[in-house]
Chains A and B, each alone.
Chain A
Amino acid sequence: MNVPHPRLPPPKVQRSNRYSIWRLLREGLRSQRGWSRAWAKASPRARYRVVIVGGGGHGLSTAFHLAAEHGITDVAVLERGPIGLGNVGRNTTIIRSNYFHPDNIRFYELSLRLWERLERDLNFNAMVSQRGTLNLFHTEAQRDLFTRRANQMRLLGVDAEALDAAKVRRLVPLVDLENGRYPVLGGFLQRRGGTVRHDAVAWGYARAASAAGIDVIEHCEVTGLTLADGRVRGVQTARGPIEADTVCLAVAGHSSVLAAMAGLQLPIETHVLQAFVSEPVKPLLDVVLTYGAGHFYISQSDKGGLVFGGAIDGYNTYAQRGTLPMVEEVAAAGVTLLPALARLKVLRQWGGVMDMTMDGSPIISRTPVPGLILNGGWCYGGFKAIPAGGLTTAHLIARGEPHPCAEHLDLGRFAQGRPVDERGVGPFAYLH
């Protein structure tokens, strides 16, 4: 079965506020006085059909798809701070669909196809760059495992290509192929993978949702959920109570905290993941590169900085900062793979908190509380899933049943013995 192509109506950005080369030229001749705010600074009303808690990538994408796909615009997106300062602006901006489980391949491939048309859908330049993602392997067993994954992908119509060591060298001459510890035997390349400017994703979705009539409300922290007769009736916020028929939580990192307001416990632990960017340098890496003998991934931003990261620090924390042992581990992996990195200075380092689920896969699901929908558990793969996460969550809200590409991501899978354990490590959140 091939991955279904997404079907979306044209974007609903008003003609007067469309961005185009003609608009750019016209504003250039008029001293840039004709630009308006990208999205309206909305204030909360007393009641909405749908309230989305969390104005990150998934919350805003869900709002956009509710409007674009289902015509539902009586929607508020509530964000604790300003748009773009949460995990949507803290990740390493990588998009790809090279997964192993067929259900996951379908879901992430849907996302990749939506990324390919994102800028047309949103009328916003998100700098989608399909520069390719290259996963290196270092042992024959790893090669066999990657081959199996690539074959699985190709059976579903998704691109994957095997490269031997000579081809890896041509693509990324900086890699130390014969390094003493973990010589590189080859790699698998997904040419359609790449990077996207993450801030622009948040801004683009916020603008398109706002243009469709959805209220994007910043500085509006949710402090409680209103429950009556066993179902959710709305939310309490720092700016007063808001009634709603459906409340959707899209607050990955804090899903457990919000779910606890409805008396729910989730199969989630919160962990911190760090990311790093080097000083800007001239172009030296034109793919997204991952190391197979440790947890390390790297790409070069358009500004020239090398953006890289590794694994989670490994213990429960809500602090948006990491500690030094993981900095050392990431640096060691990076220098083993690309010795030239040792000459660069790290410009910035930061942390974001993740919902780490017990099987390493996300949750898009109804909950035991009627009217309460959960989009969370993104572990550290949430960014690439933003378009499909929003589309499938909007489908669940509007139709009341899961989207065919996200059926396997329901909460019930844990009790029913069908976890989606991509790495096969068992029910230990801190190991995924």
Chain B
Amino acid sequence: MLRIPCPWCGLRDESEFRYRGDATRRRPAAEAGIDAFVAYVYQRDNPRDWHSEWWLHVAGCRGLLRVVRHTVTHEISLVESASGVQGAEQPR
């Protein structure tokens, strides 16, 4: 069980959250070309290391959070509200 310290609700079980994937991808400008859009939609770093990712607290404050978590140990080093994170306003 992952336990994610939500900045608004405190330490909560992973089952209250919904995973929304890699938080490093940013939508390219409309004229950026097909390669940039392919990279944005499909390509992922998928690190065996620290991973920056979105979690939506659906059964809590419904806030979108950016979490930095290690993909082998599952240790969480950072949790912050997505508001203020550049690019977080895009739909996902």
Contacts and interface: CB of A to CB of B under 8 A. Distances in A.
A260 to B, nearest CB: 8
A315 interface: yes
B15 interface: yes
Interface residues of B, number: 27
Contact of B22 (A269, A318, A319, A414): A269
Contact of B44 (A269, A314, A323): A269
Interface stretch (A180-188, A200-208, A423-431): A423-431
Given A254-B48, A265-B39, A270-B46, A315 B15 contact: no
Nearest to B19: A315
B40 to A, nearest CB: 10
A358 B1 contact: no
B54 to A, nearest CB: 10
A415 interface: yes
B41 interface: yes
B34 A316 contact: no
A323 B2 contact: yes
B55 to A, nearest CB: 8
Interface string B1-42: 110000000000111000101100000000000110011011
Interface in B40-75: 41-48, 51, 53, 69, 71-74
A256 B46 contact: yes
Which of A254, A267, A427 has the most B CB atoms < 10 Å from its CB?
A267
B1 to A, nearest CB: 5
Which of B21, B38, B44, B53 has the most A CB atoms < 10 Å from its CB?
B44
A367 interface: no
A430 B72 contact: no
Nearest to A255: B46
Interface of B: 1-2, 13-15, 19, 21-22, 34-35, 38-39, 41-48, 51, 53, 69, 71-74
Given A318-B72, A325-B14, 11 more contacts: A265-B39, A265-B43, A268-B46, A315-B19, A316-B51, A317-B71, A317-B72, A318-B48, A319-B73, A325-B13, A414-B42
Interface of A: 254, 256-257, 260, 265-270, 314-319, 323-325, 358, 414-415, 427-430
